[in-house]
């Protein structure tokens, strides 16, 4: 049973950070052979339980929960940094043409390998990801995530209209493919399926209705889509679905809002939309680097908290600009600052970190499973080296509080901070290290 001695970061149920400068993390298999956290806390308080165990001592390092990315597109790995006037021209000129390539299984496999490795290299151990409309892309991503023992949720994109040849699918076939993929992959090892209408404008009412029927039939699969990201997109959705109260209501009208439904962006909402999120248990994937890059707008943190719906952080690569959770947390801070001038809101470093770990896990319906290092959680964690760069070393050494330490890493951190990523394996007593 591995026992680690190191500084240790984890989160209490109220989202506040717990930090032991001299901490202990003990990991071992449960009855099914899945590696879980057995104990976490102060070395002083826990070490007597493990006197006979070998200890891995990591002086100067911090153990922290693996990051949870609530929304990312695996086929957009190479779309990062494609400039456009806004969302719709970006989709038309860069994204759709690129996603056509994933019809080829060997191309999908090659990108899936890079994508999973890049997530793990950046400390992300759980992700809710879009594939493309091609079932082969879903098979490729699940296969690779399973090989790397990563907790990954994805699905075949549904888009049967307003999409070019090569990515547009057929209504009936798309729903049959979705059901076959649910049966093939959902619940296998650490994998989960998400019913994935791209967004309302690229699905016919028939496709959305079919997706909603599948969502009712398979109550523990996830649902993911985009909503209220961009003003032109909203106008288009309202024209196409005039009977719905709002763009968000389209999804509700087709049975696509419930727990485990995750909507990316959720920027241009009114309070009725916020209440609909809260009342249905749907949650938002907040993607600040994407929103800044595509000029979409600013997520309203104060509005979400006032009405009370769940949310967490996401990269949204390739609208988003980075796989690094540190870049996403810093961008979220900037977005919160923008809101602050209007609403008196400030996102603390503990809150930002929580939103990308335990908070994101909660918003995925995976609280107590991933995103934290409390006893019982799956043993996904990162080893942070706060001396990874000269400036990080200088700045973190001057930190006088946990907030100052976390802030230094959020502002200055990137993949160099992640010395190792450890993911929980199902079988055997070994954790899989991912070397840089």
Q: Which residues bind ligand GUN (CB under 6 A)?
A: 73, 87, 91, 95, 198-199, 226, 229, 290, 316, 319
- If the CB atoms of residues 226 and 420 are measured against ligand GUN, the closer one turns out to be 226
Six-digit token string for 268: 């241009």
Three-class SS string for 140-168? HHHHHHHHCCCEEEEECEECCCCCCCCCC
Rule CB under 5 A: say whether 316 interacts with Zn ion. Answer: yes
Do the beta carbons of residue 166 and residue 134 sit within 8 Å?
no
In the complex, residue closest to ligand GUN by CB: 319
Q: Which does 169 bind (CB under 5 to 8 A by kind): ligand GUN, Zn ion, none?
A: none
Place of tokens 């449960």: 30
- 264 interacts with Zn ion by CB under 5 A: yes
Helix residue ranges per DSSP H, 122-223? 135-147, 171-185, 205-217
For the CB of residue 120, give the shortest distance to Zn ion in the complex, in Å: 21
Cβ 93 to ligand GUN, closest distance in Å? 12
Measured from the CB of residue 398, what is the shortest distance to Zn ion in angstroms?
38
**Pick from ligand GUN, Zn ion, none: which does 250 bind, CB < 5 to 8 A by kind?**
none
Q: Alpha-carbon distance 382 to 434, whole Å?
A: 10
Site residue total, Zn ion (CB under 5 A): 2
Q: Compute the least distance from the CB of residue 198 to ligand GUN, in Å.
A: 5
Minimum CB separation of residue 390 from ligand GUN in Å reads 35
Which range binds Zn ion by CB under 5 A, 97-105, 148-156, 256-264, 395-403?
Answer: 256-264
The H or E element containing residue 381 is strand 381-384
Task: Choose among ligand GUN, Zn ion, none what residue 67 binds, the Cβ cut-off being 5 to 8 Å by kind.
Answer: none
CB 348 within 8 A of CB 321: no
DSSP symbols for 233-272: HHHHHHHH-TTSSSHHHHHHHTT--STTEEEEE--S--HH
Q: Which does 420 bind (CB under 5 to 8 A by kind): ligand GUN, Zn ion, none?
A: none
User: Phi then psi for 407, rounded to 5 degrees?
Assistant: -65, -40
**What is the contact mask toward Zn ion in residues 328 to 367, using x (rule: CB under 5 A)?**
----------------------------------------
Binding partner selected for residue 198 from Zn ion, ligand GUN, none, CB under the kind-specific 5 to 8 Å limit: ligand GUN
Comparing CA positions, the residue from 138, 13, 121 lying closest to residue 74 is 138
The whole-angstrom distance between residue 390's C-alpha and the CA centroid of its chain comes to 30
Cis peptide before 84 (omega within 30 of 0): no
Residues that bind Zn ion (CB under 5 A): 264, 316
């Amino acid at each position: 049973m591995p026992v680690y001695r190191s500084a240790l970061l984890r989160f209490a149920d109220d989202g506040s950070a717990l930090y032991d400068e001299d901490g202990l993390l003990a990991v071992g298999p449960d009855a099914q052979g899945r590696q879980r956290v057995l104990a976490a806390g102060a070395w002083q308080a826990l070490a007597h339980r493990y006197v006979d165990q070998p200890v891995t001592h990591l002086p100067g390092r911090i153990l922290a929960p693996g990051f949870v990315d609530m929304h990312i597109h695996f086929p957009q790995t190479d779309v990062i940094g494609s400039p456009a006037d806004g969302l719709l021209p970006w989709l038309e000129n860069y994204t759709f043409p690129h996603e056509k390539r994933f019809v080829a299984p060997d191309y999908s496999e090659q990108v899936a390998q890079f994508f999973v490795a890049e997530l793990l290299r950046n400390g992300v151990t759980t992700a809710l990801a879009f594939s493309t409309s091609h079932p082969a892309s879903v098979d490729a991503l699940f296969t690779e995530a399973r090989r790397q023992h990563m907790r990954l949720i994805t699905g075949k994109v549904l888009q049967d209209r307003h999409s070019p040849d090569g990515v547009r699918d057929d209504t009936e076939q798309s729903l049959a493919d979705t059901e076959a993929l649910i049966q093939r992959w959902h619940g296998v090892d650490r994998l989960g399926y998400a019913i994935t209408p791209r967004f309302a404008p690229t699905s016919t009412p028939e496709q959305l209705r079919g997706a909603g029927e599948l969502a009712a039939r398979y109550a523990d699969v996830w649902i993911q889509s985009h909503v209220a990201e961009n003003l032109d997109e909203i106008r288009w959705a309202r024209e196409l679905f005039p009977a719905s109260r709002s763009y968000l209501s389209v999804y509700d009208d087709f049975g696509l809002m419930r727990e485990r439904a995750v909507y990316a962006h959720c920027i241009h909402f009114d309070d009725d939309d916020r209440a609909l999120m809260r009342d249905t248990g749907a949650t938002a994937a907040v993607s600040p680097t994407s929103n800044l890059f595509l000029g979409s707008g600013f997520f309203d943190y104060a509005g979400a908290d006032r009405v009370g719906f769940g949310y967490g952080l996401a990269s949204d690569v390739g609208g988003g600009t980075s796989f690094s959770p540190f870049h996403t947390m810093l961008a979220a801070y900037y977005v919160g600052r923008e809101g602050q001038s209007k609403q008196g809101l400030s996102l603390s470093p503990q809150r930002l970190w929580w939103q990308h770990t335990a908070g994101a896990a909660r918003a995925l319906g995976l609280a107590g499973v991933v995103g934290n290092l409390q006893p019982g959680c799956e043993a996904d964690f990162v080893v942070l080296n706060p001396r990874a760069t000269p400036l990080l070393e200088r700045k973190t050494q001057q930190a006088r509080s946990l907030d100052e330490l976390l802030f230094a890493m959020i502002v200055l951190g990137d993949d160099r901070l992640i010395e190792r990523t450890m993911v929980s394996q199902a079988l055997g007593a070994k954790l899989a290290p991912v070397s840089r």
